[in-house]
Structures are given as C-alpha cells and as structure tokens.
A = this chain, B = another copy of it.
C-alpha cells in the first residue's frame, strides 16, 4: 500500500526556527469518506506568514500545536473522489499542508481551470498575488505619479506590489536586504529606486531613493523599516499593513516604531491592516486582471522552487533568512 509522507511540527521554536523543529513521518495513505476527495500534492506554498502560526500566542490562524502536519496551501491532483462535484484527475487548490496525500471535504477544494503551471495558484494567482493586488489597490488606491515604497520588495508579495504600482503609473521604490535582489528589481522589473535595509547607510539611501517622499508604503516587515518609512511619508500618506516579517522569527518582538502615533497625527497618515480573505468575493475579477497583465508582459511572476517534500523545512528556514527571490514553493510531484 502507498505511503503518505508528512512533515510535522516536532517542537515550537523559542527563538529562530530551525529544520530540527520538524520531523518527516510516514503513514498509510488516508481513504476519503462520503463527500470527500483524496488529493495528491503537486506543490506546496512556503510563506513567511506561516512562521507567525508557530508563535506562542494565537494569531488569526489559531494557537500553535506540535505533532500536526505543517499547514500550507497546495495545488494537487484528485486521485479519488466520493463527491459528484469533483472528478479524478481534476487539478485543485486545497489546504493540504506539507504532505504527499490529503483528504478534504469536496466543497473545500477549488478546481483550477488554467492553461499554465498550476503552481501559479500558489503565487501570482494565489494568496500572495491576491494579497499584493488588494493590499495595494484596494487598501491604498495609489494615484498616477505618486511614490509607492514596498518592503521585502523581491518577495512573493513585494515583487508583485511593485509591478502593480508601475502599472498604476507610480514611482516605485523597493527595500530588501540584498544588493543582488535590488539589482534584479531595477534591471528586470523596472523599479525606480531601491535601498538595502541591512546597509548602514539605509536611511540616507532611502531618502535619496524617495526625493519626493513616499505617498504609499506597503509594509511587509514592521520594525525598523516601518520606522524609517514613517519619516519619509508625505502628508496624507497611506500605509498598507500586510505582515510583520521582521518580527516572526524571534521570541522577542521589538516595540513599535517611535513615531506612532505622533507622526500619524502630524502628517495625517492612515495605517490599515488587512487580510486577503476579506476580499474573497473579488478574487475572480482580480485573477482575470492579473492574468491579462501577465499575458501582455506587464507583470512577471518570479517563482523560486525547491524540489521534493523533504526539502520544505530547509526552504522555509532559508525563506525566513531572506533567501528567496519571488514566490517560494516546494515541488512535491509532477
């Protein structure tokens, strides 16, 4: 009988996450019950936000647990179905987590009808692309000629944010922790300016990259990059709060930036947090627009791929250290 390999959370990290916090275990492939489907994982998503789910305090995703399969979005092929709405061979997106096989209620999987690589539904057409789309366009509504700054700019969300801002006619400035990433943002995606937050001259570099200040800041980091952005914001500026990657991989989160709320008052700034799920009723229209931009060459989706389920912990630890360029996935089977 076929085996299911799965990667479980062996221990909750107290400080930095390590590969040793995970175990690879095997079990028999589960059998679907009435109304359920059995999915074979094709690829899983590796997301910085999932690190927050391993913190001591509960997030929107619920309290962390050990001994359970690591959560994660996946694309999969249906291997068996006990529901008329789903057929064997269908390609679906589902919350498989880091394992070869998973069973789901048929109504919880979403069929993918797409000519391209199904793994695009983990990135540009999935959670990260939609996060970029709604977090930028719906939350901040950038106007032509405005300056948009984005942190983790070469990441899964950030590199899409920057390109969407360019499509809106904005000046785009990206922040990463790497000169090589910054060079690619300028050379391959047309970013107008960049700054490296790991460089001692970061504040000065950011200032020089934003000669007209910043109208919209898409914040993936929190912490000191957010603090620096606050000082560059123009009156009436908007900050879209998407994530706090600077604070995920630690047991001791920093305090918030010193300029809050003082600079919010003096500059009449708006900061707004969002979760992409709140826009679920608009996913279809957003995906159609994203596909059009990809087809016309205005939007490039970077995919950063590891191969083999067993590589997932390494792919995640490396992601948290800033190793990825674009959307990181783990290809599990073909």
Interface residues, chain A, CB within 8 Å of chain B?
52, 59-60, 219, 222, 226, 241-244, 247, 253-275, 278
Contact = CB atoms under 8 A, between A and B. Distances in A.
B256 A261 contact: yes
Contacts of A269: 272-273
B270 A270 contact: yes
B222 A241 contact: no
A185 to B, nearest CB: 23
Given A270-B270, A270-B271, A247 B262 contact: yes
A254 B260 CA distance: 10
Contacts of A243: 265
A54 B60 CA distance: 42
Contacts of A253: 258, 262
Contacts of A254: 255, 258
User: How many copies of the polypeptide does the oligomer hold?
Assistant: 2
A207 to B, nearest CB: 16
Contact of A262 (B222, B274, B275, B278): B222
Contact of A261 (B241, B268, B278): B241
A265 B271 contact: no
Contacts of A262: 52, 222, 244, 247, 253
A281 B217 CA distance: 29
Contact of A267 (B255, B256, B273): B273
A60 B265 CA distance: 9
A266 B276 CA distance: 11
A59 B259 CA distance: 12
A245 to B, nearest CB: 11
A219 B242 CA distance: 23
Nearest to A260: B256
A272 B266 contact: no
B219 A261 contact: yes
A269 B266 CA distance: 20
Contacts of A264: 241, 271-273
Contacts of A59: 266
Contacts of A241: 261, 264-265
A314 B206 CA distance: 44
A302 to B, nearest CB: 24
Contact of A242 (B60, B265, B271): B265
B257 A268 contact: no
A278 B236 CA distance: 10
A257 B255 contact: yes
